[in-house]
Amino acid sequence: MPLSTPDRPGNAAARELLRALFDAALAAADPARAIAAHLPQPVAGRTMVVGAGKAAAAMACAFETLWPGPLGGIVVTRRGHAVPCERIAVVEASHPVPDEAGAAAARQILELAHGLGPQDQLVCLISGGASALLALPAPGLTLADKQAVTRALLRSGATIGEINCVRKHLSAIKGGRLAAAAAPARVVTLAISDVPGDDPAVIGSGPTVPDPTSFADARAVLAKYRIGEPAGLVAHLAAADGETPKPGDAAFERTSFVLIASPQQALDAAADVALARGVAPIVLSDRIEGEARDVAEVHAAIALQLAAGRFRVGRDIVPLPAVLLSGGETSVTVTGRGRGGRNCEFLLALAAALRGAPGIAALACDTDGIDGTEDNAGAIVCPDTIARAARHGIAVTEALAQNDGHGFFAALGDLVVTGPTLTNVNDFRAILVHPSA
């Protein structure tokens, strides 16, 4: 039966299945379940826990619940993402633009690391958002410098790898510097990946792993996006004084890195739910980057190929119903006045490209529960989305021009609101394709 309006069984069933897929992806990235399988071995000395990210407090709570011995430490998480802990201090700070609370917490973490000896162990809990939350400026820089360049980079359309390259070369703690401060203690990093490709040096800007990038790379990023201020920050990158520790550095002799949850695991969990519901899952990739609207056009083309019965794998045409699943982190070059995040922007462009094609519905959400800076995780598109918007006097093309996905989907009642999920394996996209007749 074709999907028609939100109130008819076809659309209701599609919406329910899309949410079930998203919920399965979130469950696969649950910090408590992930931590339990990866506890490090005790050491003769102290075990101290530090961390940063949107899942940091949930990870810390799970760790201290499971850890059998003495424990202490501090983690910093986004405001609204705190979880009460008994032995590990939890600090809330601003994200994505850093603030003084994050800088103060990072300073305490660095001081704690400096106080460790060879018999001690530092457990570092890293998840998406750590780069902004662990905000300790390099000597000679100010927090205002970092805030200004962060705002510029977020609006520029730069990839997360490019943004974090710059961040590492403006920081006193990221890009392997935390591991260098903790040496010769043992350093164990437990990470939840929110970056395409799961590169440890990009996750949270790699505070405990070698940094393969350079000051020259950071300067190239600013040049690419024509960012020439603040002047002091540009001068710092030009001076290139105090490069981040590189692969082979002695600081990493007693370090280990364990990826405990990833975008691919989330996509696999969603695929399993789809299979159980009789829907063929097609996992496109867990590392898709690029402008959200460009990524949407490619996804729309694949969905239409599926709907036409022409999507071939090997010798076989993929049968319907089917669902396209993908992850990664898109970007948005902001030119309008809107409030939409990258997932809503993706869905705006997807709806425009599909033009109400029957039988196709989609969900795109950030797994941390926050799409951009708003209170929604993302939204849902149905075949009648453009028609319903028109009845409200809203044009999808105008919403795209203004980068106003949030306003567009809020007017239709199609936002997905979860609240903070206390995890983060980045974007989750599902495009469900049913036979149209």
- pLDDT tens profile 231-256: 999 999 999 999 999 999 999 999 99
4 pLDDT tier (thresholds 50, 70, 90)? very low
3 in a structural domain: no
Within 10 A of 129 (CB to CB), how many other CB atoms are there? 25
Give me the mean pLDDT over the 372-387 stretch: 92
pLDDT at 340: 67
**One domain for residues 320 and 362:** yes
164 phi, psi to nearest 5 deg: -70, -30
332 in a structural domain: yes
pLDDT at 359 over 80: yes
Domain count, the chain: 2
342 phi, psi to nearest 5 deg: -70, -30
**One domain for residues 64 and 120:** yes
62-77 confidence digits (pLDDT tens): 999 999 999 999 999 9
Give me the mean pLDDT over the 124-135 stretch: 94
CA angle at 62 for the pair 57 and 63, rounded to the nearest 5°:
95
1 in a structural domain: no
Give the helix ranges, DSSP H, for 157-262: 160-168, 177-182, 215-224, 231-239
pLDDT at 384: 94
pLDDT at 85: 96
- Roughly how many angstroms between the first and final C-alpha of the chain, as a whole number? 6
Give me the mean pLDDT over the 131-143 stretch: 94
Per the DSSP assignment, residues forming a β-bridge with 49 are 73, 123
Of the residues 204, 233, 261, the one at which a domain ends: 261
Give the predicted TM-score (pTM) of the model: 0.87
CA angle at 373 for the pair 372 and 377, rounded to the nearest 5°:
60
Q: What is the largest CA-CA distance in the chain?
A: 69
pLDDT at 7 over 60: no
**One domain for residues 253 and 270:** no
**One domain for residues 253 and 288:** no
- Residue keyed to tokens 């100010």: 142
pLDDT at 38 over 70: yes
Give me the mean pLDDT over the 7-18 stretch: 77
Contact 207, 246 (CB under 8 A): no
**One domain for residues 60 and 206:** yes
2 in a structural domain: no
CA angle at 24 for the pair 18 and 29, rounded to the nearest 5°:
135
Q: 207: which 2 tokens?
A: 């505070």
pLDDT at 8: 37
pLDDT at 10: 67
Of the residues 215, 230, 261, the one at which a domain ends: 261
66 in a structural domain: yes
pLDDT at 122 over 80: yes
Q: Are strands 47-52 and 72-78 parallel, antiparallel or unpaired?
A: parallel
378 in a structural domain: yes
**One domain for residues 305 and 257:** no
Q: What is the DSSP letter of 257?
A: E
196 pLDDT tier (thresholds 50, 70, 90)? confident
pLDDT at 131: 94
Which CATH number covers residue 248?
3.40.50.10180
Within 10 A of 43 (CB to CB), how many other CB atoms are there? 15
**One domain for residues 285 and 250:** no
436 pLDDT tier (thresholds 50, 70, 90)? confident
152 in a structural domain: yes
Give me the mean pLDDT over the 359-367 stretch: 97
208 phi, psi to nearest 5 deg: -120, 15
**AA identity, residue 7:** D
**One domain for residues 177 and 289:** no
Give the CA-trace dihedral at 146, 216, 180, 40, to 10 degrees: 90
Mean per-residue pLDDT of the chain = 93
Which CATH number covers residue 21?
3.40.1480.10
pLDDT at 3 over 80: no
Give the CA-trace dihedral at 25, 26, 30, 34, to 10 degrees: 20
Q: What is the DSSP letter of 414?
A: -
**One domain for residues 22 and 48:** no
**One domain for residues 343 and 231:** no
Per the DSSP assignment, residues forming a β-bridge with 259 are 191
**One domain for residues 286 and 393:** yes
255-313 confidence digits (pLDDT tens): 999 999 999 999 999 999 999 999 999 999 999 999 999 999 999 999 999 999 999 99
**H-run or E-run covering 49:** strand 47-52
Of the residues 217, 232, 261, the one at which a domain ends: 261
80 in a structural domain: yes
Q: Which domain holds residue 298?
A: 9-28+264-433
**One domain for residues 298 and 177:** no
